[in-house]
Structure 1
């Protein structure tokens, strides 16, 4: 039986005072292209149903062949499961797709936090890319310490957020918070937008994988396959 992966998308569709947002196209399209032939995938979101796709990501990656092909498969994200109905016991790994949306709905979502903690306690793979490592900020192990305490972490950098002009619109800066919660262990690529994938072990002994930005999404998928032996 192929390994089973739960992919989680945001349900948040607007940045206050800015405009539409959601999940970021290549951060699902590129991993999906690598994962779907070797794993069984279930996609969920907090609200279920159609998860909002960031229209800016569609414009930005309009010439990307993998993204163009993925856009023709709208059924993949138009009828997501409800996150509250998902059970860790049914999956081997969980992967969170980025975009600015997760910063608003998944950082503090109690269902998501509980699910991640359950995966980690069972030593199952937990993973996220770009803005989605925000989902780990409020997770803890059974001793009460942050799951990401004292391990290398990565996610969308402050400089990258500045470059897209959205630092002031965010509820917090991801790099700063990942650095604070991990105890100063945030790492990033030498150059903005460079590929950076981090693979570490939690205090439970399971694997956690994070990617810095959209360009790191494919690398995260490769690490997922490597961990799962798929």
Structure 2
């Protein structure tokens, strides 16, 4: 039996930076390379098939910062090359170049997916948090208790559950969640010279219990019910491993 994972990406190639003078600057972004490729590697190596989806099916962009050999890969160019090669394979052999539009995935088809994964990069801030179709999709995985993995800015997509057609409320109230922290975002704001929407405080206002600290910043993941979450690229490896474990645990329960 085919084991299917839905991977959610943004159509956005920029995100908004709000300047002190009242103007809004668009900064280039996309998905963060290692935050997609590391969990994706664990999924593929464990025999899972993946389907990419985005709001309108546009080809996603790679966040340019995430391709920096020195900043993102600490000089490990061979790791960067390996991850870029995987993404290129997904463009050619899977549907990464033309993701499924959210609206094209019916409620009936959602039942065929075993889990869902949303990587980071600043792109989710632009078009995932208020998308009704994504809200509908996330409610399916939430109600079914299917493994749901999010990292960095990916948890911002949880805000979409407030815009879902039939259940417009935040699905993850009371959940322990780790995301890109407000403290980490302040470093980006310093570099960009303006303010950026915050993931951590936005989810906290909706009733999520935000788990942050030295361990989370160093790559520890947080698990609560069906959700596994991480703060930044350092969590990508552990997030991928834990997601696969949760999927396999679910399969064992079904087979019992």
TM-score range, shorter chain: 0.7 to 0.9
Which residue does the alignment assign to 1:61?
Answer: 72
Give runs of aligned pairs for residues 26-41 of structure 1, distance below 5 A: 26-38=34-46, 39-41=48-50
- CA–CA distance in 2 between the matches of 1:199 and 1:57? 25
Which one has the bigger helix percentage?
2
Residue 130 (str. 1) matches residue 149 (str. 2): no
Deviation at 1:192, TM superposition (A): 7.5
Tell me which stretches of 4 or more aligned residues in structure 1 moved more than 3 Å: 64-67, 140-145, 166-169
Q: CA offsets per residue over residues 101-127 of structure 1, 9 Å max, x none?
A: 001100111111110001211221222
User: Based on CA coordinates, which of the two structures has the bigger radius of gyration?
Assistant: 2
When the two structures are superposed, what TM-score results if normalisation uses the length of structure 1? 0.87
Residue 226 (str. 1) matches residue 245 (str. 2): yes
- CA–CA distance in 2 between the matches of 1:143 and 1:131? 23
Which residue does the alignment assign to 1:50?
Answer: 59
Distance 1:138 1:47, change over 3 A: closer
Which residue does the alignment assign to 1:204?
Answer: none
When the two structures are superposed, what TM-score results if normalisation uses the length of structure 2? 0.79
Which residue does the alignment assign to 2:21?
Answer: none
Which residue does the alignment assign to 1:71?
Answer: 84
SS in 1 for 2:30: coil
Give runs of aligned pairs for residues 78-227 of structure 1, distance below 5 A: 78-86=97-105, 87-139=109-161, 146-165=170-189, 168-170=194-196, 172-182=197-207, 185-190=209-214, 193-201=217-225, 207-227=226-246
The alignment of Structure 1 onto Structure 2 pairs a total of residues equal to 223
- CA–CA distance in 2 between the matches of 1:182 and 1:83? 26
- CA–CA distance in 1 between the matches of 2:142 and 2:112? 14
- Structure 2 unaligned spans of 5+: 17-24, 91-95, 250-256
Distance 1:145 1:49, change over 3 A: closer
Q: CA offsets per residue over residues 206-227 of structure 1, 9 Å max, x none?
A: x111111111122111111111
What is the aligned-residue RMSD (CA, Å)?
Answer: 2.4
Q: In 1, are the aligned partners of 2:132 and 2:161 still within 8 Å (CA)?
A: no
- CA–CA distance in 2 between the matches of 1:56 and 1:45? 21
Deviation at 1:25, TM superposition (A): 0.6
